[in-house]
């Protein structure tokens, strides 16, 4: 499955939730228009079961499922790819393990040079952020709109923005050069389907 060129990139919010809750929420996010799902779970209880169920839901709707941080889990369940942070191992290792068709994305924080280097290593997308205060990554260093503008001039793969993004502030990130908006809390809070839909309108302008 190919990585989409634009749209809402929803990242699971698992803390304090049952597997079934997460499954139901992801189903609603896709119904609301999410074009990518990332399974992110910092304290997994049953990662293989939950990620396998999410993969079924995603594939039924032609939406790729990426695994955060864990190349071996992605390999085990046959996920579409993986998202790597700076502590999560080499791009080449992930490519060797997952194959040429896998989607590999990397966190580039506020660093265009890091993104250019990752692009040369064959990643499918680069992610910058956090752009706004974020409860899921409160200590992450802030990223600047200028970074997106510079990246857009130099980078050919899709650019993902992350960090505290709401329907009210996402438009300025798209205007600065982001192709996709990665969201956790803004989607997986109360009315998941309606929340996802609210982001989708940003991509119609």
Q: Single out the catalytic residue among 51, 107, 134, 195.
A: 107
Query: Which tens digit of pLDDT belongs to each residue from 30-89?
Result: 999 999 999 999 888 899 999 999 999 999 999 999 999 999 999 999 999 999 998 757
- Quote the pTM value: 0.96
pLDDT tens-digit series, residues 120-152: 999 999 999 999 987 766 667 789 999 999 999
The domain 7-204: what is its CATH number?
3.20.20.70
Tell me if residue 107 is catalytic.
Answer: yes
**Which of these is catalytic: 17, 76, 97, 137?**
137
List the catalytic residue out of 40, 130, 134, 197.
Answer: 40
State yes or no: is 137 an active-site residue: yes
Task: State the DSSP code for 111.
Answer: -
Q: Where are the alpha helices (DSSP H) in the chain?
A: 19-31, 47-60, 71-77, 91-98, 112-120, 145-154, 170-176, 192-200
What is the C-alpha to C-alpha distance for residues 69 and 84, in angstroms, rounded to an integer?
5
């Amino acid at each position: 499955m190919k990585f989409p060129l634009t749209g809402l990139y929803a990242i699971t919010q698992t803390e304090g939730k049952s597997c079934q809750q997460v499954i139901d929420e992801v189903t609603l996010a896709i119904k609301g228009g999410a074009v990518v799902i990332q399974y992110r779970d910092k304290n997994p209880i049953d990662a293989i079961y939950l990620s396998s169920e999410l993969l079924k839901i995603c594939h039924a709707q032609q939406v790729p499922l990426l695994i955060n941080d864990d190349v071996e889990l992605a390999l085990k369940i046959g996920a579409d790819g993986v998202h790597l942070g700076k502590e999560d191992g080499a791009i080449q290792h992930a490519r060797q393990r997952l194959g040429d068709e896998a989607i590999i994305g990397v966190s580039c924080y506020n660093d265009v040079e890091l993104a250019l280097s990752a692009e040369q290593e064959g990643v499918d997308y680069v992610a910058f952020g956090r752009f706004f205060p974020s409860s899921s990554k409160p200590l992450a260093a802030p990223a600047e709109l200028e970074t997106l503008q510079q990246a857009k001039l130099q980078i050919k793969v899709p650019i993902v923005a992350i960090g505290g993004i709401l329907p009210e502030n996402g438009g300025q990130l798209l205007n600065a050069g982001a192709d996709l908006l990665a969201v956790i809390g803004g989607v997986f809070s109360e009315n998941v389907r309606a929340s996802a839909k609210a982001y989708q309108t940003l991509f119609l302008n």
